[in-house]
Structure 1
Amino acid sequence: MENETNVTAVKNKLWFAVAAVALILISIALVSIISFSNTQQKLAKVTQQYQPKMLSAMQLTTHFYHSLSVLGNYMVEQDEYNIVLYSDKVNDIDSTLDELIELTEKNNEPQDATQLELIRTLVNEIKSYNRDMLKLAADVKRNMPAVGIAADWMEPQGVEMTHLLSDIKAEAKISSQYEFARSLDNLLYNWAMVISQVRSYLAFRNDAAVDDIYLYLEGVKQHRNEVGAYLKTHQPELLELVEEFNDGLTNYESYLTQVIDVHGSSQWRADSSLMREQITPTLRKLTLELDELVTTQKLRIDKSNQELSAQIATAEKTIRISMIVALIVTLVVFLLIIRTRGLMSLVKLQQLQKAKIQHAAQHDSLTGIPNRAYFNERLLEIVASR
Structure 2
Amino acid sequence: MRKVRIGVAGLGRMGRFHAEDIAYRMKDADLTAVCCRSEDRARQMQQELGASYAFSSYEEMLDCEELDAVVICTASEKHCEQVIKAIEAGIHVFCEKPLGLTSKECLTVEEAALENKNIVVQAGFMTRYDMAYRKARGMIAEGRIGRPVYFRSYRMDAVEHIQSSIDFAVRSGGLFFDVAVHDFDLARWMLDDELVSVYAMGGCYRYRAFEATSDCDNGIVTMQFRSGAMGTILSGRTCAHGFRVETEIIGTHGTVYIGEGNGQPIVYLYDERGVDIQFARQFIDRFGAAFLEEKKEFVRCIQEGTSPEVTVYDAVAATKAAEAADESYKTKDYKMLDDWGN
Decide: shared fold, TM above 0.5: no
When you count strand as a share of all residues, which structure comes out higher?
A: 2
Which structure is higher in RCO with an 8 Å CA cutoff and minimum separation 6?
A: 1
TM-score (norm 2): 0.20
More helix by share: 1
The TM-score, its normalising length taken from structure 1, stands at 0.18
